[in-house]
C-alpha cells in the first residue's frame, strides 16, 4: 500500500482534544499512521466484505484518510467536522476515519464499547440514514489494516 500526499501532524493536541471531547481512545496503529500521513491518499488497497442485501462478496477501496488538520481547499472536512453529534449520516458511537470515492465512509465502531482500544471497523453508505447501511468489515482496526496491506501486496503491477 502506498500513502501519498499526507502531512505530518503539526500539533498533537488536535488529536488529544478530539479523543477527549468524544471520551474515547483511537487505535494506536491508526495514530501511528496519521502521525506522518494525516489526510493521506491510499493507493491500491481494498477490502472484501459480504453484502447483507445481496449476500454476495464485494470489495470496496479505501481511498483516503480523513485529516485532523485543515488542508487548503478542503475546509469543513476534518475528523472534527465530520464526527459531530447530530450528524444525520453518522450514528452516535461511529467515528469516520477514511472515505471511498464512491460515497462510502469507513468508521471505528464504539457503539458497544467506548473503552475499547482497537474498535471494530464498519462501512457506511453516506447516501442512506444509519443504521440502514452500516456493514461490519472487521473486529478491529488492526485486522482491517492487515487486510488492506494484504490486498495491496497482492496487486499486480
Q: How far apart are CA 129 and CA 88, in angstroms?
A: 7
pLDDT confidence band for 153 (50 / 70 / 90): low
* The most confident of 20-29, 41-50, 141-150, by mean pLDDT: 20-29
Note whether 129 and 43 are within 8 A (CB): no
Q: What is the structure's pLDDT at 157?
A: 44
**Helix spans in 7-155 (H):** 13-22, 28-37, 79-82, 141-153
User: pLDDT: is 129 or 157 the higher one?
Assistant: 129
Global model pTM greater than 0.85: yes
Q: Is the pLDDT of residue 137 over 80?
A: yes
When pLDDT is averaged across residues 35-60 and rounded to a whole number, the result is 83
Taking the domain 2-153, which CATH number applies? 3.40.1580.10
* Model confidence pLDDT, tens digit, residues 83-114: 887 776 678 899 999 998 887 899 999 999 99
Amino acid at each position: 500500500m502506498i500513502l501519498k500526499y499526507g502531512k505530518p501532524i503539526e500539533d498533537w493536541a488536535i488529536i488529544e482534544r478530539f479523543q477527549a471531547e468524544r471520551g474515547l481512545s483511537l487505535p494506536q496503529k491508526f495514530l501511528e499512521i496519521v502521525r506522518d500521513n494525516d489526510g493521506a491518499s491510499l493507493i491500491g488497497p481494498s477490502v472484501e466484505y459480504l453484502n447483507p442485501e445481496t449476500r454476495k462478496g464485494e470489495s470496496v477501496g479505501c481511498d483516503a484518510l480523513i485529516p485532523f488538520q485543515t488542508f487548503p481547499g478542503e475546509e469543513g472536512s476534518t475528523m472534527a467536522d465530520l464526527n459531530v453529534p447530530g450528524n444525520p449520516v453518522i450514528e452516535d458511537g461511529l467515528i469516520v476515519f477514511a472515505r471511498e470515492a464512491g460515497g462510502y465512509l469507513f468508521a471505528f465502531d464504539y457503539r458497544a464499547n467506548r473503552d475499547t482500544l482497537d474498535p471494530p471497523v464498519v462501512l457506511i453508505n453516506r447516501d442512506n440514514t444509519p443504521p440502514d447501511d452500516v456493514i461490519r468489515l472487521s473486529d478491529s482496526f488492526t485486522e482491517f489494516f492487515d487486510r488492506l496491506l494484504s490486498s495491496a501486496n497482492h496487486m499486480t503491477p
